[in-house]
Structure 1
Amino acid sequence: MATQKLEMRRFGSAAALGLAFAAGALAALATQQRRYAELRLRVTEVERSDRQAMLTEQQRLQFYLLDKAMEDPELAAVYSNVQVESPIQRRQYLFANALYNNALLAYRVGIVNWEELHGHLRMFCQNRVFRDYWDAHRPHRASLHGGSEEAKVGRMVDRLIRDLNDADTEEWWVVGEPLAES
C-alpha cells in the first residue's frame, strides 16, 4: 500500500509538472503569435508607407511634366494626342488632368476616403471644361484594367456626370451617391 501511495505521489507530481510545462509552452506560443502579428502589421505599414512615397514621387514628376507642358505649347502637343481647338483649350485640359490626378493621388495615399473623393469629383464635374476634358479622354480610359483604382474612380466620374445631367435640381452638391468602392 505504501508503494502504491508513493507511485501515486510520483504520478501526481509528474502530471503537475507536465501541466505546468504545457501551460508555459502555451503562454510562450501565445506571446510568440502576438509578436508575429505585431511584426506582420508593422511590415504592412512599412509597405503601405513605401507605396505612398513612390506614388507621391511619381505624382511630383507628373506635375513637373504637366507644368512644362503648360508653359510650352510645343511640349503640350506631345503630352496629349487629344485634338483641341486652341492652345488655351490644351492648357485647360492639362490643368483638368492635374486636378483629377491630384484628387486621385489624395485617395490613393489615404488623405481622402471614397466619399470625400466623390465630393471633390462632383465639384469638378460641375465645370464644363472638366466635362469636355473627361469626354475627350474617354478612349484613354478605355485601356485601363477594369479592376484598377483609376478605372473605379473613372466609373465614379462617369456616374457623376450622368447623374448631374439627369438631375432635376440646381443643388449639384447633393447629386449622386459614392456607391461602394468595388
Structure 2
Amino acid sequence: MATRKSWARGLAPVAAAGLGLAAGALAALAAQRHTLDALRARLDHLEAAAQEQRHTNLAHQQRLHWELLSKAIDSPELAEVLDIFETPASPQRRRQYLFANALYTNALFYYRIGNISREEFFGYVRGLLQNPVVREYWHATQGQRATITEGSDEAELGRMIDDLLRQLEEADVEEWWVVGEPPEAQM
C-alpha cells in the first residue's frame, strides 16, 4: 500500500503542473484572441476610412469634371479642345456630346460610389440611349473607350452599353424598356 500512496503522491504535482500549463495556454489564447479582435476592428475602421476617402476623391473629381465640361459647353472655343470624336462635329453637336458625356459620367460616378446598382445603371443608360444624340455620341467616342484599361469598371460597363446599343438598334419593338437583359439577370 505504501507503494500505491507514493505513486499517487508523485502524480499530484504532475497533474497540478498540467493544469497550470493548460490554464496558462488558455490565458495566452484569450489574450491573442483579444489582440486579434482589436486588430480586426482597427483594420475594419481603416478600410471604411479608405472607402470614404475614395468616395470623397471621386466626388471632387466629378465636380471638377463638371466644371470643365460646363466651361466647354458654354464656350465654343474651349469645346474645340475636347473635340476628339470619331467624326467632326458642329459646335452645337459638340456641346451636345459634352453634355451626353456629363450624363454618362454622372451615372458612372453614382455606380462607383454605390448609389445605384449595376442593374439600375443599365436601366438608366437604356433610357438615355433612346435619344439619337446620345447614341451618336456613344458611337463617336468608341475610339476613346478603346483606351480604357481592360477589366476596369468603366471598360466592363462600356462593353455592356455597346451590347445594349446593338440590341436596341436591332430590336423591332417600340417597347425599348424591355430590350436587353439587366446584368444581374444574365447570370
**TM-score, length-normalised on structure 2?**
0.90
- Are the aligned partners of 1:156 and 1:178 in contact in 2 as well (CA < 8 Å)? no
Query: Identity across aligned pairs (percent)?
Result: 42
The CA deviation string for residues 39-67 of structure 1, in whole angstroms up to 9 with x for no partner, is 22222211111111111111111100000
Flag the 1:6–1:144 CA change in 2: closer, same or farther, 3 A: same
Partner of 1:147: 151
Measured in 2, the distance between the counterparts of 1:110 and 1:80 equals: 31
Root-mean-square deviation (Å): 1.9
Task: Determine if the alignment matches structure 1 residue 122 to structure 2 residue 126.
Answer: yes
Larger radius of gyration: 2
Aligned AA (1:79): L
After TM superposition, what 4+ stretches of structure 1 lie above 4 angstroms from structure 2? Answer: none
- Are the aligned partners of 1:93 and 1:133 in contact in 2 as well (CA < 8 Å)? yes
Partner of 2:67: 64
What's the CA shift for 1:113?
1.4
What's the CA shift for 1:105?
0.5
Measured in 2, the distance between the counterparts of 1:40 and 1:85 equals: 51
Q: 1:90 aligns with which of 87, 94, 103?
A: 94
Partner of 1:3: 6
Q: 2:173 aligns with which of 161, 169, 174?
A: 169
Aligned AA (1:19): A
What's the CA shift for 1:162?
0.9
- What residue ranges of structure 2 are gaps of 5+ in the alignment? none
Aligned AA (1:36): L
- Are the aligned partners of 1:141 and 1:151 in contact in 2 as well (CA < 8 Å)? yes
Partner of 2:111: 107
**TM-score, length-normalised on structure 1?**
0.92
Partner of 1:44: 47
- What residue ranges of structure 1 are gaps of 5+ in the alignment? none
Aligned residue pairs: how many?
A: 182
Partner of 1:75: 78
